Amino acid sequence: MNLERKDIRALSKEELQLFFLNNNDKAYRGQQVYEWLWTKGAHSFDDMTNLSKATRAMLEANFVINHIKVDTMQRSEDGTVKNAVRLHDGLVVESVLIPTETRTTACVSSQVGCSLDCNFCATARLKRMRNLEPAEIYDQVLAIDKESRLYYNHPLSNIVFMGMGEPLMNYNNVLKAIEMITSPEGLGMSPKRIMVSTSGIPKMIKKLADDEVKFKLAVSLHSAIDETRARIMPFSANFPLKELRESLEYWYRKTKSKVSYEYVVWKGINDDKASIDALVKFCKYVPCKVNLIEYNPIDDGEFQQASEEAIAAYIKGLQAIGVVVKVRRSRGKDIDAACGQLANKEA
């Protein structure tokens, strides 16, 4: 076997067409193969039934299709589904299907593990092994779309990049995956239904704005006070809130798209008046929404969910300045599928 065979999905449509031209065939074969790979999600060259046997053998000799394999699928009592996804090199990531009354959302991973060090997140305890390829991200979405149709009788309606990893540290591949997800040759999904969540890397947020992306942006804020944020998300010491704020102002100026702040309120960490005032102030800079996420305990109790009163005080403060705020109850907790719980426990 030739170990050097390249993953065929690393090729663009033009490169595939060129490959056929260079092999004394027609460019439109490239188009056909491209459709098999992306629109139809073929897992093997033998599936490509409108190609001759010789053409399929030629592809087989030159390329591989590094598709993912759903190793285990767990279903929560609340309908949430978690897939442990095995990659071609044996590594594992997780993705989640979150159903509501009216829609289904896929929560996908962008890296194997994570290089950031958020103290409250289980994924942070896994070393970052590598970035996911565009096709590996795309395949997670396809797998969840299939499950959505199977269990909920409708296609997947939304995607959030809130699984394992920091999407903006795998920038090019995440953008390529989204390009395929939104392309008519891929899933044809509207970018408005896709949200990329970042822990807040100012330079890359500006790059998103410059690249005129059409999807939505979420920022895991958790505190609008530098010292507190650096304590719970140590890497953020390199990115002061002032820089983050400037990048978000830049984002909004260019895209006119509101930013969503993800925010967990913890006892003794950010449940005081100064923290609330700081968030309210921060929310005035850029048009935004706030999602108050319920904490999913992952450890010995260093972090604990704040009281209902503290949450209510946040809501009151934010609503007073007209910011839409939602409380997000966690889903899929019983199968470790909730925010911050993805840690390949089953792998």
Give me the active site residues, please.
Answer: 94, 339
Pairing of strands 69-75, 63-64: unpaired
Among 93, 187, 194, 339, binds ligand SAH (CB under 6 A): 339
DSSP characters over 168-220: GGSHHHHHHHHHHHHSTTTT---GGGEEEEES--HHHHHHHHHTT--SEEEEE
CA angle at residue 87 from 33 to 184, to 5 degrees?
Answer: 35
Minimum Å gap between C-beta 90 and ligand SAH is: 23
Instruction: Report the nearest approach of ligand SAH to the CB of residue 338 (Å).
Output: 7
Which residue stretch of 5-13, 41-49, 128-136, 295-303 sits at the interface with ligand SAH (rule: CB under 6 A)? Answer: 295-303
170 contacts ligand SAH (rule: CB under 6 A): no
343 is a contact residue toward ligand SAH (CB under 6 A): no
How many Cβ atoms sit within 10 Å of the Cβ of residue 346?
13
- Residue 159 engages ligand SAH in binding (rule: CB under 6 A): no
Task: Compare residues 151 and 235 and give the one whose CB is closer to ligand SAH.
Answer: 235
Backbone angles phi, psi at 190, to 5 degrees: -75, 135
Which residue number, 105 or 199, has a Cβ lying nearer to ligand SAH?
A: 199
Instruction: Tell me whether residue 8 or residue 195 sits nearer to ligand SAH (CB atom).
Output: 195
Q: Which of 95, 197, 228, 236 binds ligand SAH (CB under 6 A)?
A: 197
SS3 96: strand
The stretch among 60-68, 115-123, 135-143, 316-324 that binds ligand SAH (CB under 6 A) is 115-123
Choose which of 295, 306, 310, 344 interacts with ligand SAH (CB under 6 A): 295
Q: Judged by CB under 6 A, does residue 166 bind ligand SAH?
A: yes
Distance, in Å, from the CA atom of 198 to the CA atom of 195, rounded to the nearest integer, reads: 10
CA geometry: angle 161, 252, 201, nearest 5 deg: 50
> Residue 262, interface with ligand SAH (CB under 6 A)?
yes
* 171 near ligand SAH, judged by CB under 6 A: no
DSSP-derived secondary structure for 100-166: -SS-EEEE--SEES-S---TT-SGGGSPP-EEPPHHHHHHHHHHHHHHHHHHHSS---EEEE-SSS-
Size of the site for ligand SAH (CB under 6 A): 17
User: Burial of 88 by CB count in 10 Å (0-12 exposed, 13-18 middle, 19+ buried)?
Assistant: middle
The yes or no reply on residue 220 touching ligand SAH (CB under 6 A) is yes
Look at the block and give the residue holding tokens 């719970």.
232
Please choose, out of 49-57, 151-159, 246-254, 291-299, the segment that lies near ligand SAH by the rule CB under 6 A: 291-299
162 lies in the binding site for ligand SAH (CB under 6 A): yes
Judged by beta carbon, residue 29 or residue 331, the one nearer ligand SAH is: 331
- Rounded CA-CA distance 173/269 in Å is 35
Distance CA(94)–CA(12), nearest Å, equals 27
Interface stretch with ligand SAH, choices 136-144, 147-155, 194-202, 243-251 (CB under 6 A):
194-202
131 binds ligand SAH (CB under 6 A): no
